[in-house]
Amino acid sequence: MEKRNETGIKTANRKLIVFNMLSLDGLFSGTNGELDWHHVDEEFNEFAVAQLHSIDILLFGRKTYQLMANYWPTTGAVTDDPIVAGLMNGLPKIIFSKTLNNAEWNNTKLVKDNIEEEIHKLKAQTGKDMIILGSGSIVSALAKTDLIDEYRIIVNPVVLGEGIPLFNQTGRLKLELINTKVFKSGNILLYYKPIK
């Protein structure tokens, strides 16, 4: 997607989107990283496929990357969910990690430093939108910047009672609700953009 600036020169119009699932009490995962409470069904999978078709780069922190890399390339994932597996395995991926030495999942680039600089470069390129999946530490770090253009948060109808919050040490964020989607499962997708 492209737009032109006031001088008529083409400029990139690529958005950085955060997509995550939260419990009703605002938790990102259970205390030990459990995600078994996510409400995922056929309607959710249709949404996930459409969302993956609208982007062309996946961004991860180390923990989420390792979870995804250990699942999506497997025979089980490809058999159970061939469309999503094909997209997850085929799309370019960037992992932000200071501790990993290599990234073996195909189409993956490892970035050890200068996360903000890398995202500025990506946003300056022409292409579809980019999305951060999971990756609470990366989301928390970037929430303090002006780099995130949209938050897509699915609230699941479950209270965990204890666990790990998504927005950890981000400070106050002012957001504007721009859209909603209610799923038959009881999940509610909230679309927000930061108020700058």
> Three-state SS across 110-156?
EECCCHHHHHHHHHHCCCCEEEEECCHHHHHHHHCCCCCCEEEEEEC
| pLDDT tens, position by position, 137-156 | 899 889 888 899 999 999 99
Going by the DSSP 8-state scheme, the letter that residue 170 receives in this structure is -
pTM, rounded to two decimals: 0.89
Reported as type and span, the H/E element at residue 87 is helix 82-90
Residue 12: predicted pLDDT:
60
Averaged pLDDT, 8-22: 78
Q: How far, in Å, CA of 108 to CA of 104, rounded?
A: 7
User: Rounded CA gap, 24 and 157, in Å?
Assistant: 6
CB atoms within 10 A of CB 176: 9
Residue 96 corresponds to which tokens in the numbers above?
């932000």
pLDDT digits (tens, 9 = 90+) for 77-130: 999 999 999 999 999 999 999 999 999 999 999 999 899 999 999 999 999 999
Please report, rounded to a whole number, the percentage of residues in the chain having pLDDT higher than 90: 79
The structural domains of the chain, ordered by start, are 17-25+40-164+178-194 (3.40.430.10)
Residue 67 pLDDT greater than 80, yes or no: yes
* CA distance linking residue 69 with residue 25, whole number of Å: 28
Question: 133: which strand partners?
Answer: 19
Distances in whole angstroms, Cα of residue 3 to Cα of each of 14, 17, 73, 121, 124: 10, 19, 36, 17, 12
Return the half-sphere exposure (C-beta side, CA atoms, 13 A cut-off) of residue 11.
Answer: 9
